[in-house]
Amino acid sequence: MFEIRVICESADTDRVVAALDKTFATGTVTVYPTDNGKSHRFYVRADHLTDLTREETDRPEAGPTAWPTPEDAYATAPAIPYEIAWTASTTRTLAKNPPGGDVDREYWLRKAALLDRIALDYEAEGIPNGTDDIAANAARQLIEIDHGSDPNGPQHPATLAHPRGYVRHEYAHWANNQ
C-alpha cells in the first residue's frame, strides 16, 4: 500500500480521481484547495490492482459474490427525507457529544447509504451532477472506519473497487438485524 499526492486543476479533480480508481485499488480521497485556490491538492491511499480487482473494476457492482441490488439493500430503508433529517440530527448530536462505538458506525453507514440512494436517483434520471462521487467518498469513509464483515471485509479488493456495493451489503446486513 502507498499514498499518492496529486496537484491538478480543480476542473480535472473528478477525472483524475476516476482514473486513479481504475488504475489502483484506492481508499479515501482527501481533497484540499491549493494556496492560490485555483487547483486541488489531494491524497489517496492506494494499492496495486490484482487480476481479480481489475476484472471486478470492469464489472460495476460485482464482487466475489454479487453485491445486493439497491432494491434489495434498501427495501426496508426509511424515506430519503427522513434519513436526511436523521443524519442532520445525528450530526448535531455527535458534534456535541461524540459517543464512539457502534453509534459512530451506524451514523457513517446510514449516511453512506443515504448518499448512495440519492446518487442512484440522479443516475436513474440521467443527471450527471457528481452525487456518485460524493456517495463513493462516503462509502470510502465507512470502509476506513470499519473493522470487517463477511464475505467482503473492508480490505477485500472487491470492496476497494466498489465501495458503494460494500455500503449496500453492510446496510442490508444492518437492516436485517435491527
Residue 101, sorted as left (phi over 0), alpha (psi -120 to 50) or beta, turns out to be left
pLDDT of residue 64: 42
Is the pLDDT score of 5 beyond 70? Answer: yes
Q: How far is CA 12 from CA 26, 44, 59, 156, in A?
A: 18, 16, 25, 29
Domain boundaries, the chain: 1-48, 62-176
pLDDT of residue 54: 46
The mean per-residue pLDDT over the stretch 87-109 comes to: 80
The identity of residue 162, as a single letter, is: H
Residue 124, all three cell numbers: 436513474
Contact 29, 133 (CB under 8 A): no
The CA distance from 41 to 117, in Å, is 29
Could you read off the pLDDT of 124-171 as tens digits, one per residue? 988 888 899 999 999 988 888 886 554 455 666 667 778 899 999 999
How much is the pTM?
Answer: 0.61
Could you read off the pLDDT of 31-66 as tens digits, one per residue? 778 888 888 888 888 887 765 444 444 444 444 456
**What's the DSSP call for residue 68?**
P
Which tops the pLDDT comparison, 53 or 4?
4
The mean pLDDT of the chain is 80
The CA distance from 161 to 167, in Å, is 12
pLDDT of residue 101: 54
